[in-house]
Amino acid sequence: MEVTRILLVEDQYFARIALHSVLDSRDDMRIVAETANGADALSLYLQHRPDVTIVDIRLPGISGIEVIRAIRANDHTARIVVLSNYEGSEDVHRALNAGALSYLTKDADADALVKAIRIVSQGHSFIPPNLRGLLFSRHEADALTSREMDVLKQLTTGKSNRDIADHLGIAEKTVRIHMTRIFEKLHVSDRTQAVLVALQRGIVHID
């Protein structure tokens, strides 16, 4: 029997325990290495060359997205499954764009995870139907620029336009222009709605 060798990159102890309970019971799967931080992920990948790597998006230090990019930069055939608490369309898009083949939320059942690992191990992608709908509704034309993202992140902290301008070192008039474009792209009419939509879609996170 061919065994799928798995690298686990997950910072939450109990999540790792749960994953062990699911995967260790499978005769065709084996966790060969694990780490709680993104900084060690690439070296472990290069050391063990796993068939599938499971990565959480939110990691201390180096993010899961950076981990995916680093692994894929060293091995473009790397097969990666993202397992995350976040289900916003931007989170899914960023992970897939970085090179992940699958994205699951942590409330996914064991069967879905096992199915994703088996499909990804064959080099195919697997996105659950509920997340496929999120991706379908995401329009590339509505993606925010890096500066608009800067403004939006400051907006979520409750800063005024003046405060945002001072923080970013730009004119208040420029902030207003960015704000107008943000409202248009998020299809909202005020600051509160912009923050709510940004959080729901995973464009920004509040730690």
Digit-coded pLDDT (tens) for 55-88:
998 888 889 999 999 999 999 999 999 998 876 7
Fold classified for 140-201: Arc Repressor Mutant, subunit A (1.10.10)
Looking at residue 3, its amino acid is V
When mean pLDDT is compared across 47-51, 93-97, 173-177, the lowest value belongs to 93-97
Cα maximum dimension of the chain = 65
Q: pTM of this prediction? A: 0.69
Cα–Cα distance measured from residue 27 to residue 131, given in angstroms and rounded to the nearest whole number: 29
* pLDDT tier, 104 (very low <50, low <70, confident <90, very high otherwise): very high
Q: For residue 13, is pLDDT > 70?
A: yes
CATH 1.10.10.10 residue window(s) in the chain? 140-201
Token couple for 106: 């942590």
Token pair, residue 191, equals: 């600051």
- Where in the chain is CATH 3.40.50.2300? 4-137
Instruction: Give the pairing of strands 4-9 and 102-105.
Output: unpaired
Q: Which residues pair with 4 in a beta bridge?
A: 29
Q: Measure CA 108 to chain center.
A: 15
Which residue reads 């008039």 in tokens?
173
Superfamily of domain 4-137: Response regulator (3.40.50.2300)
Closest-CA residue to 12 (of 67, 47, 54, 50)? 54
The H-assigned helical ranges of the chain are 13-23, 41-48, 64-74, 89-98, 110-121, 129-137, 146-155, 161-168, 172-186, 191-201
